[in-house]
Structure 1
């Protein structure tokens, strides 16, 4: 573990002048999954994070694997129809936390094969599923090492405090062929690097390589120190993460701070690519409302994303270019940045996912996103963007409703280019 001193770099970035935001273009979804409800009547689900698996032999039969938190995993076809549902693990004891899947990502490697890896926030572990589109009973099979260790907690008592495995991104090092999972810790700034490896019994386990702590407070240009407001003892956590396999660069969204760029092996010094608009705004936590009351804005925030910055995903292009997409949950938009580190991840534009019809709505308060810039058969020949929708049934007042929207990636690229 290394605590990073980044005050100078952050202060320089904070000096960027604020500019007026321009109206953003809109794209519409082509399909959506069934609504998931986060209560007893709907199965205690809650959509969160998707990943896209391409069936190279038959792209029309590709899949979307997505977390439903306490509802476990859902697997969808390209028509957004559910083809498999996997329950989260039960609690080990009557007073213990049950399984709660948070984020998911895929591994495709010659060593391990095709895997879906998810963070189990409830158990502070990773769970690993092998992908076989033609497997009877469903394409996912649990191959988690039964002896897989906890990621951050030393005991079940610590697990029950739920400062556990949260955000997740996978990465295969092109030089060594080794595969890794990067996992963030809930309510902390820590990120862990875990190496994935095959066991002799056919399961897949992991070993912790190192951890890194991102900053929890920041020196502002006016000489004051700022820490994002939260519940007592709660630090500014990371959730959305993605790794660029071409250069081993990790992008991590610290929800109330902004987007960090750092080496995926967690060495070197992270750089803050962009800040949320609320960066530097003081806040006071109200115990009664369990909300933060914001003070006067000193003007040190960014201009493109609003807290929380959430789902991060990459769009790869054949010429080596591409985009980093980020969900700006606070204003229901998405921001696009140049993928090239040499261009300092320059902002390229943004977009909204808006309703396609009276029955097919857009995306609000998006938690997770996944893009794949490869042809996916007749439905998505230009690639696919899948985004979580935090309010799938706007008229519903008693139950939280969420789902996933499927968007033609070509329309997104056109919107950003415009």
Structure 2
């Protein structure tokens, strides 16, 4: 019997071997090879990060691609490194800037821990406007905001977070230190009003908060809460039984990966052990469970000694495309509403694509894996975060770029777990999805 295990994100996931075995069991004999998703290979990778004292407790998690409109060849990738803060890379995956996370406010308090990052374009600040990188800080339960200046000399990111920015989910520093704090993140700008928003999920709960970003004097940025929404934590199965994903006592099935389609005002939210939800980005209306993970409905019992969930018999209520955790949601926007929603299927190290055409279907359109290009340049495993941009990025990526986190960078340095990011030519991804 295989056991559910805890992933790096802290959610309970299914062992990859269990997910792959289940998927293979559903395939007729002799058909398995043809059902394998096509492979794409990365063109570049960042330097490895190490989540230990020597490595500054840096752990790669989530990227965002910023296009320099004046010089696309000088475009940047901004990525989170958890307690290691932010990393900024050029299109060759070389580090341009390292931004430290905030120190703990006092001894015994949690230090800054940057989880997810997304971009806001053209927000009015003072007498001008700026592009911003917004990150969720799990350690302080706040948003941190950085102005992006890709044309000026020196470091491209400047911290413009208002010092009075409030906690998002906590009411005291004691609550912050309990770590039920800001986790997943997606941003969008309402085309009708010009107002910019951040959607932030709460660690170890099903809650999502909608925050409006606000400009403050001196070119700083703060935010105010508009509303919150709680996704379900218990589900009725087709046989009328009730099921909840297994986890540590007191923890709910959390959301991390999120993406907003600004043209339709739609939020896609990955509830890691459940599936992908589709709902209004303003958190009104009724959420729809667009796709379920394969492990949906599998009963399991949490074993405290091993920190594992021991699964029972699979009743067969799960989906067909994604293996838990579902992570790394990103929107591949093409002309006239075309394109794909991409999701990381951590349990089988794959990426799944859904049709973005303006309809309510969002049909499954296949997928791919990011595999090794060479012995020195490996693929992506247990991907936590991803970002895609279908716009020309100079001579390096004239068709666009996909950046994915790699949860197991190779070769590893002894027993040190290594993470990083892989850069993939978008033309290769589109070819794979057209197969």
TM-score, structure 1 as length reference: 0.94
- Give the structure 2 partner of residue 262 of structure 1: 279
What CA distance in whole angstroms lies between the structure 2 residues aligned with 1:36 and 1:116? 21
Q: Is the 8 A contact 1:98 1:122 kept in 2?
A: yes
Deviation at 1:343, TM superposition (A): 4.7
Deviation at 1:396, TM superposition (A): 4.4
Q: Which of residues 313, 329, 340 in structure 1 aligns to 2:330?
A: 313
Alignment partner of 1:176 is 2:176: no
Q: Which of residues 44, 52, 58 in structure 2 aligns to 1:39?
A: 52
Show the 5 A alignment for 1:80-99.
80-99=93-112
Q: Is the 8 A contact 1:29 1:405 kept in 2?
A: yes
Show the 5 A alignment for 1:280-359.
280-359=297-376
1:289-310 deviation line (CA, Å, top 9, x unaligned): 1011111000000011000000
What CA distance in whole angstroms lies between the structure 1 residues aligned with 2:183 and 2:363? 28
- Give the structure 1 partner of residue 247 of structure 2: 230
| SS of structure 2 residue aligned to 1:166 | strand
What CA distance in whole angstroms lies between the structure 2 residues aligned with 1:154 and 1:133? 37
Q: Which of residues 141, 144, 149 in structure 2 aligns to 1:127?
A: 144
Deviation at 1:394, TM superposition (A): 5.0
Deviation at 1:136, TM superposition (A): 3.5
| SS of structure 2 residue aligned to 1:319 | helix
1:307-347 deviation line (CA, Å, top 9, x unaligned): 00000001111132110000001110000001135151000
Show the 5 A alignment for 1:56-71.
56-71=69-84
Alignment partner of 1:384 is 2:397: no
Rate the CA distance shift 1:33–1:340 in 2: closer, same or farther, 3 A.
same
The alignment covers a number of residue pairs equal to 401
Q: Is the 8 A contact 1:111 1:177 kept in 2?
A: no
- Give the structure 1 partner of residue 204 of structure 2: 187
What CA distance in whole angstroms lies between the structure 2 residues aligned with 1:160 and 1:33? 31
1:88-121 deviation line (CA, Å, top 9, x unaligned): 0000111111100000000002525200000000
What do you get for the CA RMSD once the two structures are aligned?
1.2
- Give the structure 1 partner of residue 233 of structure 2: 216
Q: Is the 8 A contact 2:57 2:83 kept in 1?
A: yes
Deviation at 1:378, TM superposition (A): 0.4
Alignment partner of 1:74 is 2:105: no
What CA distance in whole angstroms lies between the structure 1 residues aligned with 2:339 and 2:124? 27
Gaps of 5+ in 2: 1-24
| SS of structure 2 residue aligned to 1:159 | helix
What CA distance in whole angstroms lies between the structure 2 residues aligned with 1:280 and 1:25? 29
| SS of structure 2 residue aligned to 1:330 | helix
TM-score, structure 2 as length reference: 0.91
Rate the CA distance shift 1:398–1:346 in 2: closer, same or farther, 3 A.
same
- Give the structure 2 partner of residue 4 of structure 1: none
Q: Is the 8 A contact 1:109 1:177 kept in 2?
A: no
What CA distance in whole angstroms lies between the structure 2 residues aligned with 1:316 and 1:210? 27
- Give the structure 2 partner of residue 52 of structure 1: 65
| SS of structure 2 residue aligned to 1:93 | coil
Following TM superposition, where does structure 1 have runs of at least 4 consecutive aligned residues deviating by more than 6 angstroms? Answer: none
